[in-house]
């Protein structure tokens, strides 16, 4: 028996099994040489399911000619947003472009071909009115109707607003458009609020889930909400003939997600869009906003945020003028939290690698050799202490070419003591030597750093890496001073 004959026999057996399954479930009958038109769902009419969904959800079910679509229009709510003030924030859209909020509910958490967006929530502003519409897919074969409706919302001049939409929602929709043989709608820009939340509010939130943002920033708490992991099973159960009522919870979940996008945008604009209102914000928010400005090289705005953070009331200080350090447990949790550290490699199990530095000791908090003697060692943990804000302000002043003020800021950061205080003195020494031409001042800053490390060593916490840097730097600066002295002096 040849391989071709064997393959043909196996194919006939599979077709016979499929026909028998459809006959038992009441599916459409097929001839011996025909493939079932709607095999996975027994030839069920999506129009009947669409009408059923529309009645259960209080929505409109319509045959668009390319397939059935369930459209739910929600009564508008008033969410005023000052677009001129919003445009001042880093990464936010210009004042004149239309905004469309987008959120999807899907059959999985991947963006590959097997994942389907069965519910798409959309919203736009009409003046101060926030108008929402939800598009529900009755069946897989009706996807063309859904994609065409999305194209009517997203135009070339539109900016999208989403939460993790750059990494999930929009790539998934683009994949669905490609599989349908058509190009995804062109838009002018995409404001993903998740990175902004991470940069500005990371220091005071447990994680960056939208539900946590609602509670921490908007003062909203959900009751009886559907969990995200439940959503795919609820929809697939409806397609298999299950009850429609659980899907209503998914629709309400999506409605709240989209509305939260509008509320979050309004909150950010009102609280951080203008400097006159920022004095009410926590100082850590201002420092995070400064880093967001710095990413766009808007250093003047970043410095203004840091000046406001310095002027804000800080935490209770100890008798020596230093900000209290956060507990080691809190720092460890912040470092290990993959939500805040997207560049951490995923853990797939197996043997733990032993080479290289890992864990909280590897990011500048200490360890066998101590932190790297660079300003980046200040970017550890989530707490914004006085000294960390001073270090960020010093780096901003250095970028603006204001060397003397940057030296003063680094000296303020040196109040942290220990290795980080020594690193601040090293940064001050660099500026004095290379920008201000003050070799004697650079050597004095190096000696101040050495005194801090001597104290740390006496307490049983040596930092060999920083000490080696100071030895080289001190010897070089002392040699330069000796060569600069006049002969016979």
Residue 376 forms part of a structural domain:
yes
* Spatial contact of 344 and 334, defined as CB atoms under 8 Å apart: no
User: Is residue 463 predicted with pLDDT exceeding 50?
Assistant: yes
Buried b / exposed e over 194-218, threshold 16 CB at 10 Å, is: bbbbbbbbbbebeebbbbebbebbe
> Does residue 148 share a domain with residue 29?
no
Specify whether 35 is located in the same domain as 54.
no
pLDDT of residue 381: 67
Q: Are residues 66 and 177 in the same domain?
A: yes
H/E element, 215: none
Over 60: is that where the pLDDT of 140 sits? yes
- Among 288, 302, 482, 321, which residue's Cα sits nearest to residue 415? 321
What is the domain-level CATH number for residue 217?
3.30.420.10
Q: What is the pLDDT of residue 369?
A: 64
CATH number of domain containing 413:
1.25.40
Domain that holds residue 123: 46-273
* Residue 22 pLDDT class (50, 70, 90 cuts): low
Phi, psi of 30 (to 5 degrees): -130, 150
Place 332 in a pLDDT band, splitting at 50, 70 and 90: very low
Is 405 a residue whose pLDDT tops 50?
Answer: yes
Would the pLDDT of 378 be above 80?
A: no
pLDDT band of residue 89 (cuts 50, 70, 90) is very high
Indicate whether 397 and 258 sit together in one domain. Answer: no
Residue 52 banded pLDDT, cuts 50, 70, 90: very high
Whether the pLDDT of residue 102 is over 60: the answer is yes
Does residue 286 lie in a domain region?
Answer: no
Residue 21 banded pLDDT, cuts 50, 70, 90: low
Instruction: Place 314 in a pLDDT band, splitting at 50, 70 and 90.
Output: low
Locus of tokens 């194919």:
11
Answer yes or no: is 212 within a domain: yes
Residue 127 has pLDDT above 50, yes or no: yes
Over range 24-32, report the average pLDDT.
50
Backbone angles phi, psi at 84, to 5 degrees: -65, -45
Confidence of residue 335 (pLDDT cuts 50, 70, 90): very low
Do 22 and 82 fall within a single domain?
Answer: no
User: Would you list the DSSP string of 391-407?
Assistant: HHHHHHHHHTT-HHHHH
pLDDT for 231 equals 95
Measure the N-to-C terminal CA separation of the chain; round to a whole number of Å.
106
Which 3 state secondary structure label does DSSP give 224? coil
* Domain-located, residue 306: no
3-state secondary structure of 318: coil
Per the CB < 8 A criterion, the answer to whether 104 and 121 are in contact is yes
Q: Is residue 398 located within the same domain as residue 257?
A: no
Residue 480 lies in a domain: yes
Last residue of a domain, one of 221, 242, 273: 273
In a domain, 284, yes or no: no
**What is the overall mean pLDDT for the chain?**
84
Q: State whether 239 and 261 are in the same domain.
A: yes
| 72 shares its domain with 192 | yes
State pTM to two decimals.
0.79
Assess whether 89 and 125 both reside in one domain. yes
Would you say residue 367 has pLDDT above 90? no
Of 220, 243, 273, the one marking the end of a domain is 273
Which residue from 320, 304, 322, 279 is spatially nearest to 393, judged by alpha carbons?
304
70 and 161 fall within a common domain: yes
In a domain, 15, yes or no: yes
pLDDT of 364 strictly over 60: no
% pLDDT > 70, the chain = 81
Quick one: 427 and 488 in the same domain? Answer: yes
Does residue 337 belong to any structural domain of this protein? no
Last residue of a domain, one of 244, 273, 302: 273
Q: Are 25 and 127 contained in the same domain? A: no
Domains contained in the chain, number:
3
């Amino acid at each position: 028996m040849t391989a071709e004959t064997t393959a043909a026999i196996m194919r006939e057996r599979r077709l016979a099994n499929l026909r028998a399954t459809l006959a038992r479930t009441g599916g459409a009958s097929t001839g011996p040489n025909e493939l079932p038109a709607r095999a996975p769902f027994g030839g069920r009419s999506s129009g009947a399911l669409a009408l059923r969904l529309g009645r259960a959800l209080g929505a409109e079910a319509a045959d668009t000619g390319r397939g059935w679509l369930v459209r739910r229009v929600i009564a508008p709510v008033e969410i005023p947003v000052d677009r001129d003030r919003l445009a001042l924030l880093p990464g936010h859209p210009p004042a004149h472009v239309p905004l469309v909020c987008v959120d999807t509910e899907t059959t999985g958490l991947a963006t590959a071909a097997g994942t389907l967006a069965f519910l798409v929530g959309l919203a736009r502003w009409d003046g101060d009115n926030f108008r929402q519409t939800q598009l529900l897919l009755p069946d897989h074969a009706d996807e063309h109707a859904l994609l065409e409706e999305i194209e009517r919302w997203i135009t070339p001049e539109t900016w999208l607003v989403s939460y993790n939409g750059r990494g999930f929602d929009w790539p998934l929709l683009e994949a669905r458009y490609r599989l349908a043989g058509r190009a995804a709608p062109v838009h002018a820009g995409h404001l993903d609020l998740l990175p902004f939340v991470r940069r500005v509010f990371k220091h005071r939130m447990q994680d960056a889930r939208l539900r946590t943002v609602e509670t921490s920033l908007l003062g909203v708490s959900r009751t009886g909400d559907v969990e995200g992991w439940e959503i795919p099973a609820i929809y697939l159960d409806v397609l298999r003939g299950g009850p429609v009522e659980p899907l209503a919870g998914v629709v309400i979940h999506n409605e709240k997600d989209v509305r939260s996008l509008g509320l979050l945008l309004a909150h950010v604009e009102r609280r951080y869009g203008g400097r006159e209102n920022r004095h009410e914000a926590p100082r850590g928010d201002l420092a995070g906003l400064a880093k967001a400005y710095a990413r766009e090289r808007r250093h003047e705005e970043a410095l203004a945020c840091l000046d406001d953070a310095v002027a804000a009331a800080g935490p209770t200080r100890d008798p020596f003028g230093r900000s209290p350090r956060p507990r080691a447990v809190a720092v460890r949790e912040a470092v290990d939290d993959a939500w805040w550290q997207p560049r951490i490699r995923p853990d797939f199990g197996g043997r733990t690698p032993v080479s290289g530095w890992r864990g909280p000791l590897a990011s500048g908090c200490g360890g066998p050799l101590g932190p790297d003697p660079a300003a980046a060692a200040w970017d550890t943990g989530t707490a914004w202490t006085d000294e960390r804000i001073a270090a960020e302000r010093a780096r901003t002043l250095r970028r603006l070419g204001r060397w003397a003020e940057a030296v003063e800021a680094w000296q303020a950061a040196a109040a942290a003591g220990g290795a980080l205080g020594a690193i601040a003195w090293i940064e001050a020494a660099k500026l004095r030597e290379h920008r201000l031409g003050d070799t004697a001042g650079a050597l004095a800053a190096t000696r101040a750093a050495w005194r801090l490390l001597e104290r740390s060593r006496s307490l049983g916490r040596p930092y060999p890496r920083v000490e080696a840097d100071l030895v080289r730097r001190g010897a070089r600066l002392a040699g330069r001073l000796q060569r600069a002295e006049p002969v016979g002096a």
